[in-house]
Chain A
Amino acid sequence: MRRTLVVFIALSVSVFCLDAADAYLSGETTLGMVVSVPPVDDAGAITKAMTSQILELDAYGDVTALYVNGGLRFNALDYTMDYTISAFLSEAYVDFYLDKFSFRFGRQKAAWGVAEISSAVDVITPSDMSDPVNKTKMGIDALKLSYDAFPFAFDVYWIPVFTPGVLPSSVSAMYSFYGIGLKKPEPCLENGEFAARASAYTSAGDFMLYGYYGWEDIPSMTGEYDRLAMLGASVAVPVGQITLKGELGWYPKRDVVLSGTAGFEWIKDDFTLISEVYGEWNKENEELSTQVGGTVHYDLLDGDLSLSLSGIVELRELDGAVVFGMKYGLSDELKLSAEAVYVFEGPDEAGTYGAYKNLNCARFSVSYSF
């Protein structure tokens, strides 16, 4: 925690060394709670009670910019840690612009692909899966070089230090139970990760190619992280009022060698509909597994209230998850949100999602931003 705070403060202070003409500090305080709901055995139990304080610093000059996003978290249920407050640094990077070139150094988040629900190519940053239903992206410590010659754009990443994903607590517990230690790759130059993206933005659509050579974000059964290579492509084509989307990823070092997503997005006034089909081809088992997902989002009361319904079903096991969410803004600063999560097993087998059926819950949060 001390190291994180030092980095945070050092980066914040470094703004004065830039050609910063403007600097803005903002933040968000969130109080959240998760309660188990039936059919979970311990329905009514509070499984999470968290307070977080995020601070954001955004400073920029003519050719440089600094962005820092970090904060503190207090877990009211973390009795074992004696109510320790934990610090986190989500992003902290410096940008440098040189005409069509730009450089970004530091901890940063990135997203690849055009899919909204299940991506076949988004391997650039790992995920925090401690809450499997609500995965969040993690920052990577990287150097990014971009060349922007519109309608073409090229991004190259060098990620010298591997950042593993955060596993669901049940999976972490399983490794501990079997006494399997997680073995990260040695931090040396030859174990660095490399990634590249080439994009073309045309009136007909957006076309992208991806290449990645790094490490799997989650460990194998032996606790080791395997090498990962990926070549991928994505396309987004506007047709009338909808946008058609597709992704394809080839993973030569995985058993699941091919992943693909196809879907569409329709936005009409305050209504958004997204539907996607995701498939994986396992070369070893010669099996195709597919899942269908969808999201409906609707804004009401001039945007003060937003409702969303998302669902995903694995077509082989027929397991899946449904999430209903609502967010209400009492003001521009104060927001209330509630979410109901229902995970269901397949009729014959629990399935990938069904394995998390004990995560059925209701979430509530209040956030104040400034």
Chain B
Amino acid sequence: MSIRKRIILALFLSLAVISLVHAEELTGLEVIKLAHDVPEPDSSSVVATLLIHSKKGNEKTRQVIMKSKDYGDVTREVIVFTSPKDVVGVGYLMFDYPEAEDGTKKDSDNWLYMPALKKSKRIAASGTDAGENFMGTDFTYEDMGERAISKDTYTMLGKQDIDGVLCYMVKCESIERKENDPVRVVYIGVEDLILRKCEFYDRHGALHRVLTCSDIEYIDGYACTKEMKMENVQSGTWSKITMSDVVYNTAAIDDNIFTVNALEQGRIR
């Protein structure tokens, strides 16, 4: 088959798939599965700036370097603070394991390095504290990770326009209802299947937090949400994470930096 024929066939198949997706009325679960299957880079390096806005209007800024690499059976991630001064060098190393076919998930392995102590320490699985605030922001550790599809039930609520982008509106309800926010309504772009907004409802059914995603860019063919704002409508606080220096799938992300020794040596730059 000539290259031209292959391209025409590929285009035809792509159009056919898109037409099918639009023609059928997808269920909530199908949308979530499609969004889950959006290709992601095997490795990434970003500088994240965290802006924390208090109820009184005070603002704090934190900056971290985040690097991660997917090895198939484990995703290794390292986070190191670069500001403010009193937390510079504090680092986390996390090994996150994928969900098994039976829906179970092995606890992550976690280490924390404190420069003042000159040593890293093993800390209990973050999975048990998934509802804990992520670095003092309105985000939780669970928000930052990938939630297992089997943990929720899904209901399609329809479609809604979010900042000019038509989105699927899916209600996700936790099966175990152990989380602080057991119900989420997610808004996922119809065309690109990228998350645009998420509303978090607490155990009493009241709106608790609202996540808005903006400044979405494609870098090396992968979608990158460069700005995420989480607003706690109950407390009046909000936090914003802005990504910069985003690099995907580069050889510069050395395997040797995802180790406890590298964390202790300050090798993650």
Known: A269-B129, A269-B133. A104 touches B121 (CB 8 A): no
The number of residues on chain B lying at the interface, defined by a beta carbon within 8 Å of a beta carbon of chain A, is 38
Q: Which segment, of A9-17, A42-50, A105-113, A179-187, faces chain B?
A: A105-113
| CB under 8 Å from chain A, chain B span 116-143 | 117-119, 121-125, 128-129, 132-133, 136
Q: Mark B99-131, 1 if CB is under 8 A from A, else 0.
A: 000000011011100000111011111001100
Are A265 and B121 neighbours in the complex by a CB distance under 8 Å?
yes
Give A118 Cβ to nearest chain B Cβ, in Å. Answer: 14
Residue of B nearest to A113 (CB): B119
What's the Cα separation between A192 and B54 when bound, in Å?
54
Main secondary structure of the interface of A (DSSP, over half): strand
Q: Which segment, of B21-29, B198-206, B213-221, B258-266, faces chain A?
A: B258-266
Is there a chain B Cβ closer than 8 Å to A236's Cβ? Answer: yes
What's the Cα separation between A370 and B83 when bound, in Å?
10
Give B112 Cβ to nearest chain A Cβ, in Å. Answer: 9
Main secondary structure of the interface of B (DSSP, over half): mixed
Known: A28-B85, A114-B122, A238-B124. A67 touches B259 (CB 8 A): no
Is there a chain B Cβ closer than 8 Å to A203's Cβ? Answer: yes
Q: Mark A173-211, 1 if CB is under 8 A from B, else 0.
A: 000000000000000000000000001011101100000
Give A153 Cβ to nearest chain B Cβ, in Å. Answer: 5
Known: A104-B265, A153-B261. A243 touches B106 (CB 8 A): no
Give B92 Cβ to nearest chain A Cβ, in Å. Answer: 12
* CB-defined contacts of A203 to chain B, threshold 8 Å: 95, 106-107, 109
Known: A153-B259, A240-B128, A243-B123. A111 touches B52 (CB 8 A): no
Residue of B nearest to A148 (CB): B261
* CB-defined contacts of B95 to chain A, threshold 8 Å: 203
What's the Cα separation between A147 and B52 when bound, in Å?
39
What's the Cα separation between A239 and B85 when bound, in Å?
33
* CB-defined contacts of A236 to chain B, threshold 8 Å: 121-122
Known: A240-B128, A332-B84, A333-B84. A267 touches B123 (CB 8 A): yes
Give A205 Cβ to nearest chain B Cβ, in Å. Answer: 7
Is there a chain A Cβ closer than 8 Å to B32's Cβ? Answer: no
Residue of A nearest to B136 (CB): A303
* CB-defined contacts of B117 to chain A, threshold 8 Å: 111, 116
What's the Cα separation between A185 and B210 when bound, in Å?
66
Give 10 new A-B contacts, CB below 8 A, not counting A58-B266, A237-B122, A243-B123. A60-B269, A102-B265, A150-B261, A236-B121, A238-B122, A239-B124, A241-B124, A265-B121, A265-B123, A267-B124
